[in-house]
Amino acid sequence: MRGGKVSPLGSTDQGLVDPSSAMGGAEEAFRLLAESVKDFFDGLASRVDPAKTTGMTNSYVFDIEGAGAWTVAIADGKVTVSEGAGEADCTISTSEESFEKIMSGEQNATTAYMTGKLKIKGDMGAAMKLQKLF
């Protein structure tokens, strides 16, 4: 860059953006997003109310593009989560961004599904049961 200092946010004192700094910021944001998706699944078993899962026996793979895949198994009130895709009744696929928006309440899961931002393969009835958990 000619004749200007680069701020920590990637812009120069001349109002220009240093592409190398801007990319570093984007990469950091993606890394933090992936960590928060991982944190969601790491703490999921402890956050689910067993009263809401009593009688349920279903398994799900959550394939979150850019963050990874997790298998969530529910067996009569007990929730177990393992990293990686395994056998499941239903596979739910979406991007990190869409997943974060759904989990924060910023995006409705049904709307995400209807607009193609969330994809479901397998047992749709099992997928519908997730609504009572979140």
Yes or no: say if 41 and 83 are a contact pair by the CB < 8 Å rule: yes
Kindly list the domain boundaries of the chain, sorted by start residue: 49-132
Predicted pLDDT at 7: 38
Q: Which whole number is the average pLDDT over 100-104?
A: 89
Q: pTM to 2 decimals?
A: 0.72
Q: Which fold has domain 49-132?
A: Nonspecific Lipid-transfer Protein; Chain A (3.30.1050)
Distance from C-alpha of 77 to C-alpha of 82, rounded to nearest angstrom:
17
What digits encode the pLDDT tens for the residues 16-71? 444 434 444 444 444 444 458 999 999 889 888 888 888 899 999 999 999 999 99
Distance CA 63, CA 82 (A): 12
- Planar angle of CA 125, 39, 10, nearest 5 degrees: 120
Instruction: Give the pLDDT score at 19.
Output: 40
Query: C-alpha distances in angstroms, 128 versus 36, 56, 80, 95?
Result: 24, 12, 19, 20
> Contact, 65 vs 94, CB < 8 A?
yes
- Stated as kind and residue range, the H or E segment containing 80 is strand 78-83
Rounded distance between C-alpha atoms, residue 113 and residue 118, angstroms? 4
